[in-house]
Amino acid sequence: MSEDMEGVRQALDRLRIRIDSIDDTILDLLNERLEIGREIGAVKEKAGLQVLDRSREKSIFDRLVARSEGRPVSDTLIHHLYGIVMAATREVQRSRTIAYLGPEATNTHIAALQQFDYAGQFVPRTTIADVFEEVEKGSCDYGVVPVENSLEGAVNHTLDLLFLSPLSICAETCLAISHDLLSRETDLASVSVVYSHPQALAQSRRWLAQNLPHARLVEMASTAAAARKAAMEPGAAAVAGSQAAAIYNLQVLASHIEDSGRNTTRFLVIGRDETRPTGSDKTTIMFVTAHVPGALFSGLKPLADLNINLVKLESRPTRQENWNYFFIADLEGHREDDLIREAIDRMRPNCLFLKTVGSYARCSF
């Protein structure tokens, strides 16, 4: 090693010792914070108070943002980091169980982790119907299921189950599906085999041919199974979402290796909560109209009359009678808004059946 390189190594070692010591302190302080959170939880439980206190959380964010002004930890980073820390502090006060369409590391799992800030007990279920059932019978507080993909369209099974279910939509979350190359290796040269779902391999074919021309490509049942395999095998990599890296402790060797296309999936959180208005909300209703000319038109007319934006309209067979359909409409606004309330009241007499499935904050893309 040249003298120069030796100097660089020593400088890095010295600085990294300081980083290690800071990480230890941060971790000890986080553990102390969670322990205090647990004590706060006990006080609240005795007093019959709710775990979530938004105004306290807001005042913490405001104080920290002001404290860090002009320093490297930005406003956005504070919201991101402390959002996770606060979710964990709430979680030790009252654990939430979240059923999702599994197995582990699927896009639905990632969407669930993202939506609940990684705090909670996440329970994989094999089918969308099983997720609904867990929440309906009360063994889980929430369920997370896919509802729409930007390339494939609606997930009909989710819509059909929602039609029959007593549960509400509490939130929606969107996930940009992108493909990354994940491995326990730290450089591309050490990768000799790449595992993934056939679709993900196909969508990354050009990048793989250019960057790993000699690697063997092996098809797996899912990108999650591929990531799990890559985590166990030296010289192996997986094409999967970057979040699978955190779940399986893998390195992201390359990001966004898909050849083209923007592929986004929208997920719903189902449960029993009635969500408060946020100022940027959507309301989902489901309704059935009579089988006569103009029925859908008169059903929807109040929306036009009241100038309410119809974000989405889908139809599905009711399966109770042939050629009978129910409609799913997403309206801009919250069920507590006077305008939305008025519109639904006016729609009701024009429909054979109508239910509000939930009002929730719109996801940002």
Ligand X SMILES: C=C(O[C@@H]1C=C(C(=O)O)C=C[C@H]1O)C(=O)O
Residues that bind ligand X (CB under 6 A): 37, 40, 51-53, 56-57, 60, 86, 89-90
Token duo for residue 124: 């994989």
Which own/partner contact pairs does 47-51 have at CB distance under 8 Å and 24+ positions apart? 51/90, 51/93, 51/94
In angstroms, the CA 231 to CA 253 distance is 13
Nearer to ligand X, 87 or 123 (CB): 87
Nearer to ligand X, 78 or 174 (CB): 78
- Report helix angle 128-136 to 156-164, nearest 10: 20
CB of 52 to ligand X, least distance (A): 5
Nearer to ligand X, 61 or 163 (CB): 61
CB 168, CB 274: distance < 8 Å:
yes
Closest residue to bound ligand X by CB: 89
CB of 220 to ligand X, least distance (A): 39
Task: Give Cβ neighbours of residue 19 (< 8 Å, ≥ 6 apart).
Answer: none
The kind and range of the H/E element at 325 are: strand 325-332
CB of 45 to ligand X, least distance (A): 12
Residue 72 phi, psi (nearest 5): -65, -30
CB of 365 to ligand X, least distance (A): 27
Nearer to ligand X, 84 or 209 (CB): 84
Angle (nearest 5°) at CA 229 between 226 and 231: 110
CB of 358 to ligand X, least distance (A): 23
Q: Is 86 in a helix, a strand, or coil? A: helix
CB of 125 to ligand X, least distance (A): 28
Burial of 150: CB neighbours in 10 Å, binned 0-12, 13-18, 19+: middle
CB of 48 to ligand X, least distance (A): 14
Token duo for residue 25: 């302190």
CB of 43 to ligand X, least distance (A): 9
CA quadruple 219, 236, 249, 265: dihedral positive or negative?
negative
Nearer to ligand X, 59 or 249 (CB): 59
Cβ neighbours of 210 (radius 10 Å): 9
Nearer to ligand X, 53 or 104 (CB): 53
Nearer to ligand X, 86 or 331 (CB): 86
Nearer to ligand X, 86 or 194 (CB): 86
